Copies of this chain bind each other. A is one copy, B any other.
Amino acid sequence: MTSFAFFQRLSKSFQDHPSHLKLILLCTTVTGGGLLAYSDAASSEVPVTEKKKVVVLGTGWAGTSFLKNLNNPRYEVQVVSPRNYFAFTPLLPSVTCGTVEARSIVEPVRNIAKKKEVDVLFSEAECVKIDAENRKIYCRSNINNNLNGKEEFVVDYDYLIIAVGANVNTFNTPGVVENCHFLKEVEDAQKIRRTVIDCFERANLPNLSEEEKKRILHFAIVGGGPTGVEFAASLHDFVNEDMIRLYPGIKDLVKITLLEAGDHILSMFDKRITAFAEDKFQRDGIDVKTGSMVVKVTDKEISTKELKNGGEIKTIPYGMAVWSTGIGTRPFIKDFMAQIGQASRRALATDEWLRVEGCNNVYALGDCATINQRKVMEDIAAIFKKADKNNSGTLTVKEFQEAMNDICERYPQLELYLKNNQMRNIADLLKEAKGDVKKESIELNIEELKTALSKVDSQMKFLPATAQVASQQGTYLAKCFNRMEECEKNPEGPLRFRGEGRHRFKPFRYKHLGQFAPLGGEQTAAQLPGDWVSIGHSSQWLWYSVYASKQVSWRTRALVVTDWTRRFIFGRDSSRI
């Protein structure tokens, strides 16, 4: 009894003081760092009336990292999302084959909110309409409930953060929605897992012809991006490490095909990685079909257009198809875009501070948004005018040098251009326009400046729709919000070229930390910053440690690590639940 009460107190103290736990787990869990730091600042009481209401739509990477990093108690936050949890999506392909459990990669938003100084309300609902003019959003609970119309409600905001991610884009290919699986949500991964087992059970029914069995055990994956490739690799491991022990005689019947419309899989990676992956898949018996564009899917067959063979239409029987290509816009975002004059775009356009163009106090980040980087050439006159401090009509090197920091900060393409053309400083750039004169004496008029900067905008890059970008945007925006008042008084951003003064904040800059492509069989390719490429077992361990350290909480970290251990000891489970 006494000893029991001790245990109970211990358990309670664990749950109440997660920091004890962290220390303990720090010693026992394999993690690659990434200690979470929660603000422990004394809660400063702010009168409710003064609080600004921030509404966050979505609990994905962008929304959650915003929420985690916001710590100014002058805000009150309301999160609206159809999912009451954050999911660590890079592990979704692992969930499809049971290497990791679905529940191990999710963390309830309320758990995250509970630890904050900031007041956070959560509503499990979908936003269906944004009224930016009146600063209102219209929401509907997506729970199958019996509330007689009360499942719809309106929320007012001072600031709106749109972080709802993207839809799957089927490019209107007929039959995709009806017959293909997707791999964006936790439910998708769980459904794929059940369906894989289903296929094996179906193929083991009596009475089926060999041909029929082969069809059922043909797994087709559409899209050779990181998700599709990782799913193909996981499935191959699952079949060869676990399923063939339990379903004898099926080894020769199973086939995995990866269909990619482009010339190569993993085209966003270094060529060495692409080649290694294609090679490994060939050895593994995974059929990689490049130049193969899916044009139609029925319940038993996929039709492809073979781009390399003059557009020949081929038909492949299949048992299960996973569609892992294309990102689309959610319907209510499309409506909102029409409202604010962005109807022709693919995603919400924001400026470099993540503010949605065409309305006030609305921010968008993650997969539902793209940053509309201003071009140098658009602003060339304003730049010239700001830099030409003595209004002489010409720009000396010294004048240009003084404005340089602000220009580079405002137009990152310039910095990139200098770097890629191996120019050490601004004089090198100007020299091109003026020829080889003595550096200090160079003076340019506006036409000459235009010539000098004419190629700079070609260096502009669109950010990829990845978790890394979304997460960094969330963190950036939260830090801006935390210091809003401070930066209002002492702006720290670059010079306003087309206006007076300085911008409040530095614009968002993405820092690429590298990318993994797990290829199965404990082989992982890693592309790290500086074009450093690593392939093989060592990357696999790096992958394990990075993915463990990037978990949103110590709870999910421990769960993921124990899942890996379980898999290592017992293999993957094949129960159809």
Chain A residues with a Cβ under 8 A of chain B:
1, 4, 7-8, 11, 14-15, 21, 83-85, 101-103, 106-108, 110-111, 114, 122-125, 141, 143-147, 150-151, 153, 155, 186-187, 190, 197-198, 201-202, 204-208, 212, 216, 245-247, 299-300, 522, 536-538, 540-541, 555, 558-559, 562, 566, 568-571, 573-577
Contact = CB atoms under 8 A, between A and B. Distances in A.
Contact of A570 (B123, B202, B522, B558): B558
Contact of A522 (B4, B146, B537): B4
Contact of A575 (B103, B147, B198, B571): B103
Contacts of A8: 522
A536 B4 CA distance: 11
Nearest to A559: B566
A110 B574 contact: yes
A540 B7 CA distance: 13
Given A21-B569, A207-B153, A558-B566, A300 B576 contact: no
A358 to B, nearest CB: 28
A206 B559 contact: no
A573 B106 contact: yes
A322 to B, nearest CB: 17
Contacts of A562: 562, 566
B197 A84 contact: yes
A301 to B, nearest CB: 11
Given A84-B201, A145-B202, A559-B566, A577 B103 contact: yes
B201 A570 contact: no
Contacts of A143: 198, 201-202
Contact of A83 (B300, B555, B576): B576
B151 A205 contact: yes
The 6 closest A-B pairs by CB, nearest first: A85-B575, A124-B201, A110-B246, A106-B575, A555-B570, A4-B537
A162 to B, nearest CB: 20
Nearest to A10: B568
A151 B555 CA distance: 43
Contacts of A146: 299-300
Nearest to A152: B207
A134 to B, nearest CB: 17
Given A114-B245, A205-B150, A571-B15, A103 B101 contact: yes
Contact of A108 (B141, B207, B573): B573
A323 to B, nearest CB: 18
Given A106-B577, A114-B245, 8 more contacts: A1-B536, A8-B522, A84-B575, A103-B575, A110-B574, A124-B205, A143-B201, A558-B566
Contact of A576 (B84, B125, B141, B245): B84
A187 B194 CA distance: 12
A123 B574 contact: no
A106 B576 CA distance: 10
17 contacts: A1-B536, A21-B570, A101-B101, A103-B577, A106-B575, A108-B575, A123-B204, A123-B206, A143-B202, A145-B216, A147-B208, A147-B212, A150-B208, A150-B212, A153-B207, A555-B570, A558-B566
A98 B246 CA distance: 29
A110 B244 CA distance: 11
Contacts of A83: 576
Nearest to A151: B205
Nearest to A86: B575
B569 A14 contact: yes
A375 to B, nearest CB: 44
Nearest to A16: B245
Nearest to A11: B568
Nearest to A576: B84
Contacts of A246: 108, 110-111, 114
Contacts of A202: 124, 141, 143, 145, 147, 151
A482 to B, nearest CB: 24
